[in-house]
Amino acid sequence: MYTKEPTFEQAMNAALLWCNAWEGGELSDEVLADRVSELLASREGARGFFVISLASDCPLLDRLPEPLVLQLRAAGEIVVDLTVRNLAMSTAMGLHHERLGNIEQQAGSERVTARSLDLLRLMEPSKVKKRLEILLKATNKEEGEDVAFLEKWGYDKEQKLAITSNIYAVAEIKEGAILTPLKLNFADNSIV
């Protein structure tokens, strides 16, 4: 579709168009997956896709088609990284909105959190484990490359605790399905 990498805004517009067409039955699962793969080829494209798919009313990530799951897994670390960041941000913002009594905005943040958790459970476990350990180290020990990310948004101790809780939630069993469990090592804040 693009001869060059899409901008963030172009990616958002394309994702919205494709989500709506898919939801309306005008775009097959396979064609949607192929188009989304074009966005996942660049960070700005992937960011634009996730802004729409995680935060909008489009039910795409609530009933992920198998061809799209395969494309998301194939994109690998960029998907895992952005999804982990969205998990952290939506968790912290959900708490922020709750404190302010913004129930509608809190519900939106909680939807992004739930979708992020579900998506991370479908990704390559070793990549998810590695990325979550980086975030866990930052939330618990204030060490590592995610410290700047957390500081940038000014998350407080309670928000970091909520993020930590959702890191652990990635490893929980979902709707009776048995996932490969990620064992938590509390001594050194790692996931084994």
Angstrom distance (rounded) from CA 187 to CA 138: 15
Angstrom distance (rounded) from CA 55 to CA 163: 18
Q: For residues 2 and 10, is the Cβ–Cβ distance under 8 A?
A: yes
What is the radius of gyration, based on Cα positions, of the chain?
17
Closest CA to 163 of 95, 104, 108, 103: 95
19 CB contacts (<8 Å, ≥6 apart)? 52, 53, 56, 58, 60
* Domain spans of the chain, in order of start: 1-75, 76-192
What DSSP string runs through 108-156? HHHHHHHHHHHHHHHS-HHHHHHHHHHHHHHHHHS-STTHHHHHHHT--
pLDDT recorded at residue 191: 56
pLDDT at 187 over 80: no
Q: For residues 120 and 79, is the Cβ–Cβ distance under 8 A?
A: no
For 39-92, write each residue's pLDDT tens digit.
999 999 999 999 999 999 999 999 999 999 999 999 999 999 999 999 999 999
What DSSP string runs through the chain? --SSPPPHHHHHHHHHHHHHHHHTTSS-HHHHHHHHHHHHTSHHHHHHHHHHHHHSS--GGGS--HHHHHHHHHHTHHHHHHHHHHHHHHHHHHHHHHHHT-HHHHHHHHHHHHHHHHHHHHS-HHHHHHHHHHHHHHHHHS-STTHHHHHHHT--HHHHHHHHHHHHHTTS-BTTBPP----EETTTTEE-
For 89-106, write each residue's pLDDT tens digit.
999 999 999 999 999 999
User: What pTM does this model have?
Assistant: 0.87
pLDDT recorded at residue 172: 75
